């Protein structure tokens, strides 16, 4: 997909967290984005249940934040992202979801880093990054197959545009704290 530049740009911005505080800040930002993004994307993809249902991750973010010491009230008061990528149909929702599902691959690298650098264990406080565990490769391949099956060739450019917008929205959202 023609998203490499946007992907690299976001990775360069985020890097890997060097402290528990930095890790918590990232989770808060992912929560603020996902709390607005996930319901919208899933509503546009409701016809693909149960394939989509098992891909919900907002509750993992909430559980991680609670495990790391935030209260439910603090999680509920986190800033929410208002600048979402344009998603108005199945193609654009799948394009945006391409980015979020792809992040599960990078989550494996982040998990190993959090274990080695910060001493976290057993997914406690970083379940979001381990969302599919050992099945991450299988889940990614299944997502790509689902995407190819449900997108017409004429919709491909809109799917790519939505993916690029998603990377850019994430970059903008995470940049506001730097």
Give the number of domains in the chain: 1
149 CB-contact burial (10 Å; exposed 0-12 / middle 13-18 / buried 19+): exposed
pLDDT in tens, 17-75: 999 999 999 999 999 999 999 999 999 998 887 777 889 999 999 999 999 999 999 99
- Residue 96 falls inside a structural domain: yes
- Residue 11 falls inside a structural domain: no
- Residue 36 falls inside a structural domain: yes
Q: Tokens 């080695």 identify what position?
A: 116
What CATH number corresponds to the domain at position 123?
Answer: 1.20.910.10
- Residue 143: which pLDDT band, with cuts at 50, 70 and 90? very high
Please report the pLDDT score of residue 29 as a whole number.
97
- Residue 157 falls inside a structural domain: yes
* C-alpha distances out from residue 9 to 67, 73, 130, 168, 170, Å: 30, 33, 23, 9, 10
- Residue 59 falls inside a structural domain: yes
pLDDT in tens, 107-130: 999 999 999 999 999 999 999 999
- Residue 169 falls inside a structural domain: yes
- Residue 111 falls inside a structural domain: yes
- Residue 1 falls inside a structural domain: no
Query: What mean pLDDT value characterizes the chain?
Result: 94
- What are the DSSP calls for 23-38, one per residue? HHHHHHHHHHHHHHHH
Can you give the residue range of the structural domain that contains 27? 17-175
**Beta carbons of 85 and 96 less than 8 angstroms apart:** yes
Please report the pLDDT score of residue 135 as a whole number.
95
């Amino acid at each position: 997909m023609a998203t490499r530049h946007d992907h690299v740009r976001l990775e360069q911005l985020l890097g890997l967290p060097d402290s528990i505080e930095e890790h918590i800040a990232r989770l808060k930002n992912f929560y603020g984005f996902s709390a607005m993004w996930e319901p919208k994307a899933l509503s546009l993809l409701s016809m693909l249940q149960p394939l989509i249902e098992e891909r919900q991750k907002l509750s993992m973010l909430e559980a991680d934040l609670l495990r790391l010491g935030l209260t439910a009230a603090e999680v509920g008061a986190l800033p929410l992202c208002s600048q979402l990528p344009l998603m108005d149909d199945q193609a654009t929702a799948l394009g945006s979801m391409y980015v979020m599902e792809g992040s599960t691959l990078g989550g494996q690298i982040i998990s190993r880093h959090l274990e080695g650098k910060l001493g976290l264990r057993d997914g406690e406080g970083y379940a979001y990054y381990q969302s599919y565990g050992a099945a991450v490769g299988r889940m990614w391949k299944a997502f790509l197959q689902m995407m190819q099956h449900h997108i017409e060739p004429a919709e491909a450019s809109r799917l790519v545009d939505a993916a690029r917008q998603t990377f850019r929205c994430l970059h903008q959202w995470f940049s506001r704290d730097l």
